[in-house]
Structure 1
Amino acid sequence: MYSHVMVGSNDPERSRKFYDALFEKEGRTDDKGRTAYGRKGSVFMISKPIDGQPATHSNGGTIGFAFDSPEEVDAWHQRGLAAGGTAIEDPPGYRENAFGKLYLAYLRDPDGNKLCGLYRPEQ
């Protein structure tokens, strides 16, 4: 649904290595040092903040990535852990709430950004 999301990083090279592993592909880095990853028409980017201030994560913010199966979510989660991410909240699994039945897994990247892998079964 989103066109792009960009998160700040205080160590873009560390972040690039984490996200290369998480997405199983190398990101493209432009001449300004921003690295981008595309999937199904959406773009996720990492960058040092352009204002020169330190990057911080959003308290209450979450970036969700859509997947086609629970197995893809689990593999994404495992890659994130292996690449230096931190598991947070409940273990990967199904949850039901006002948005219906969802399969979810949560991570924090090395800069503290909250990420969610999501599979939405047919309802």
Structure 2
Amino acid sequence: MFSHMMVGSNDLDKAKVFYDALFESQGGKPGILDPKGRLVYAHNGAVFLVTKPIDGNAATIGNGSTIGFAMATTDAANAWHAAGEKAGGTPIEDPPGWREGGGMKLYLAYLRDPDGNKLCALCRG
């Protein structure tokens, strides 16, 4: 359904360190800077971009927004979380672990990136 996801950043150098660590923890490649100055990550058929806002204003986080990254295993989610924390991310909510509700069992690991965007690694049980 989705073609891509994009978040804003006020410091692309710091964002690159953070997102390179996340994607590399899952076997992805470091981001590339495209001709428009955006960081581009392509992995497992999806595209994720990080950019300075084109209107020239500061990047701000989306209140209530979460971007979820699908993980094949709980080990992958834990590696993603550890790599993100080491690269400047902030752990939020409960520690990585299983959550159950509404007939679903999900392994979730939450971080905020250096600009405050809320991210989640998700592995289905």
Give me the TM-score of the superposition, normalised by structure 1. 0.94
Contiguous gaps of at least 5 residues in structure 2: none
Asked if 1:89 is matched to 2:93, the reply is yes
Provide the identity percentage: 61
SS in 1 for 2:17: helix
Q: SS at 1:55's partner residue?
A: coil
1:18-74 deviation per Cα after TM superposition (whole angstroms, max 9, x unaligned):
111111131111111101112221111000000101000011000000010000000
Q: Distance in 2 between matches of 1:87 and 1:44?
A: 21
Instruction: Describe the SS at the equivalent of 2:36.
Output: coil
Please state if 1:72 is matched with 2:64.
no
Q: Aligned residue for 1:55?
A: 59
Report if the CA contact (8 A) 1:3-1:41 is conserved.
no
Question: Per the alignment, in what secondary structure is the counterpart of residue 57 of structure 1?
Answer: coil
The whole-number CA distance in structure 2 between the counterparts of 1:39 and 1:58 is 24
The 5 A counterparts of 1:96-107 are 96-98=100-102, 100-107=104-111
Task: Tell me, in whole angstroms, the C-alpha distance in 1 between the residues paired with 2:101 and 2:63.
Answer: 22
Task: Name segments (4+ residues, structure 1) moved above 6 Å.
Answer: none
Distance 1:36 1:99 in 2: 36
Gaps of 5+ in 1: none
Residues 111-122 of structure 1: pairs in structure 2 closer than 5 A: 111-121=115-125
**Normalising to structure 2: TM-score of the pair?**
0.93
Q: Which residue of 2 aligns with 1:4?
A: 4
